[in-house]
Amino acid sequence: MLGLIVAGFLLSGGENGNQNSAAVGDAPAAGDSDIDATADQRFHLKGLIFGNAARRAKNELARPAVSDSEDTTQIPARVADPGSVEAYIAESDDRGIHIGVFGRKGKHKSRVDDPLAPYKNDEEADEESDTADEDEGLFDEVLVEEALYARNGSISGRVVNESGMPMVGIGVTATAIHLFDIPPNAQIPVGDLQRYAVSDTAGRYYFEQLVPGEYRVHNVPTADYGMSQIAVRTGVDFADIALKSQRAVTVSIIVNDTVGQPLSGVLVRPMLLGAVGGYTDSAGLFSLSMRIPSETRTVSLDASLHGYRDKITILGIEQFNVDQHASLRIQLEAIENQTFVTGIVVDGETGSPVAGKSVALSSTIRNDRYTATTGPDGSFTMPTVAAADGYELLIPGGGGYKAYQQPNVSVTLQGLELAVMLPPDEQRILAGRMVDLDGSPVPNFSMVVRAKKPPYQLMRVSSDGSGNFVLQNPPVGELVFESPSDPRLTVGGIQVNTSDQEQVTLRLDIGPNEIFGTLVDANGQPVSTPNVVLSWRQHYNGVVSSSIRRSAADSQGQFSFRGIGAGTRTVIVNADGFKPARIDHDAATEGYQFVIELEAESSS
């Protein structure tokens, strides 16, 4: 990608600028710098880079900025394709920072005027313009920049503990995982879009001025609480994070081979969110310190070493002593008759290499599975494979190709070289419309599409401003549409059987309705809990639509759900010391406010 843009955002200013709140702001990232624009003005820049993300590198480009503004300064930034960048400049004014990046074979298309234009002759400007027009690889950068400047999204919620009580002063991070209104061919490192907040005295946190999209929101782990995370789309204001208490444990581990010899360099990883493992020393020893959720009954540890079969060991909580310490001996089995598998994957019609394809070689009898990914030349290598018969080769479909399966693959001691010709997929179009329960269009809504049966190909589709969508070459068979973030909306039963264009309607549980509830015990006292779920399910012409929303009841027993459609919903409550409750409620006929009385577990 030859055309690059860096979008800079003014995060903090001097005496004349807006100061960031201590509770909300952009999280610091490696490579960020504080830049002195003038003696009394400072800027903090977080760069967003568009281009070939796979070749992204951290670079500082050294070329003096050119401008007639005394506030102009150079700003180091991360560049996606440094080989295509000649220079960049930054201008600051009372509206913020404007960044320009100029490629050697094209100029950016920015809504901000080219700051170097006054210093270029007509021949240079015409040459750059012609080159940019000829470069078909440039995506519409104007749309990208406008989408990133449209920071009109927000996410808010509460941080509560296991009893549903608000937690004060807990750090919360929101990281973008998918942005709306961004061209599909714009390779943007969305993970660089990150914000930070701190819960207030009511346990609430707020993220405002977000680029519209889906975000992974999680708390910052503390000594008492581990990491809990949720996926949320902008516009949701009830994204509650329920913390789970944790305790510190240590495990003394020794790893040997099958004859009792210690193995060094074995990677031992706890299979827990946020936990970090390490390697055994020359004596095969490793001491693992970690924090585990208090409710956890087992801990799984994965041990891996090149030339040996991976092994997962389950450690029961009863194996820890009063000092929260346990000892564990792990034995790894060497892969016998080690050899290798190499190959190349090409287009079945043109013979051109197919890059980025996942290749799996598995044996259900031996319980072995080896994987690799094709490189730019279509080649792949599996360096350590056990020589045996009865393997199955599988390459998932997608990207314009059918899934490829080859059974009864034999791997000899001399190794195996494979040449795979992927059959192009039939051209299919699945078109349709996303609507709410009243039949009104749901615009700019993103969902993940997966096949219900193997090879479980995943695709993403978004509706346009009128709720319409078009899905190119979906998998044949039954499809399931799911929102990858809260609220969890699902539509199943969509059938794709032919190459003809098909029209479908996706009915989504989205609407203007709200539900406000209160949990009380038999004496009318409020009950708090982080486990309140609202579910809905509807059959419509063979298609099944459903939704799952989650909330927490606070110290007053109050909870709420917003943005739901009309009809009956099921409220499911699980609170410590009380029996599970399941209540059907229709807000239109029974009111938007109601009380649920929970029955104590001890009552008969």
Q: What is the pLDDT of residues 149-181, one digit of tens each?
A: 667 789 999 999 888 888 999 999 999 888 877
Residues 6+ apart with CB under 8 A from 512: 563
Number of H helices, E strands in the chain: 3, 45
Tokens read off for 82: 């440094």
SS3 content of the chain, % helix, strand, coil (to 5): 5, 50, 45
69 or 291: which leads in pLDDT: 291
Instruction: Please enumerate in sequence order all residues whose Cβ is within 8 A of that of 487, keeping only pairs 6 or more positions apart, or say none.
Output: 236, 509, 547, 548, 549, 563
Please name which of 237, 241, 221, 239 lies closest in space to residue 229, comparing C-alpha atoms: 241
Count CB-CB contacts under 10 A for residue 201. Answer: 8
In this structure, the number of other CB atoms found within 10 A of the CB of residue 585 comes to 17
* 530 three-state secondary structure: strand
CATH topology of domain 429-507: Immunoglobulin-like (2.60.40)
With H, G, I as helix, E, B as strand and everything else as coil, classify residue 445.
coil
Extract the tokens encoding 535: 């579910």
Of 61-75, 236-250, 328-342, 580-594, the least confident? 61-75
Rounded-to-integer distance, Cα 572 and Cα 583, Å: 7
Q: Are strands 25-26 and 368-373 parallel, antiparallel or unpaired?
A: unpaired
Q: What is the pLDDT of residues 465-523, one digit of tens each?
A: 899 999 887 877 889 999 888 889 999 988 887 656 678 899 999 988 888 999 999 99
| Tokens representing residue 326 in the block | 């346990």
Architecture field, domain 513-597: Sandwich (2.60)
pLDDT > 80? residue 94: no
Closest CA to 346 of 357, 335, 361: 357
In terms of Cα–Cα distance, which of 304, 260, 306, 262 is closest to 282? Answer: 262
Fold agreement between 153-242 and 429-507: yes
The whole-angstrom separation of Cα 80 and Cα 189 is 9
Does 61 have pLDDT greater than 60? no
Of 300, 294, 330, 295, which is closest to residue 315 (Cα–Cα)? 300
What is the pLDDT of the chain when averaged over all its residues? 76
Statement: residue 460 has pLDDT above 80? yes
pLDDT of residue 401: 86
Q: Which of 429, 469, 462, 425 is nearest to 447 (CA)?
A: 462
CATH architecture under which domain 153-242 falls: Sandwich (2.60)
Are the CB atoms for 33 and 73 separated by under 8 Å? no
Domain boundaries, the chain: 6-149, 153-242, 246-331, 338-422, 429-507, 513-597
Helices (H), 358-397: none
User: Each residue of 269-282: pLDDT tens digit?
Assistant: 998 877 889 999 99
Separation in Å, CA 528 to CA 157, 461, 551: 16, 38, 11
Q: What is the rounded CA–CA span in Å between residue 488 and residue 552?
A: 16
Reply yes or no on whether the pLDDT at 34 is more than 50: no
Is the per-residue pLDDT at 357 higher than 80? Answer: yes
Q: Which of 104-118, 257-271, 579-593 has the highest mean pLDDT?
A: 257-271
The CATH architecture to which 246-331 belongs is: Sandwich (2.60)
- Is residue 6 pLDDT above 60, yes or no? no
Could you give the CA distance from residue 326 to residue 502 in angstroms, rounded to a whole number?
A: 59
Q: Which two tokens stand for residue 8?
A: 């800079």
| Contact present, 58 and 76 (Cβ < 8 Å) | no
CATH topology of domain 338-422: Immunoglobulin-like (2.60.40)
- With vertex at residue 169, the alpha carbon angle to CA 163 and CA 173, rounded to the nearest 5 degrees, is 95
Which H/E stretch holds residue 304? strand 298-304
pTM over 0.85: no
Tell me how far apart the alpha carbons of residues 234 and 214 are, in angstroms, rounded to a whole number: 6
d(CA 236, CA 229): 15
Task: Identify whether the C-beta of residue 548 lies closer than 8 Å to the C-beta of residue 494.
Answer: no
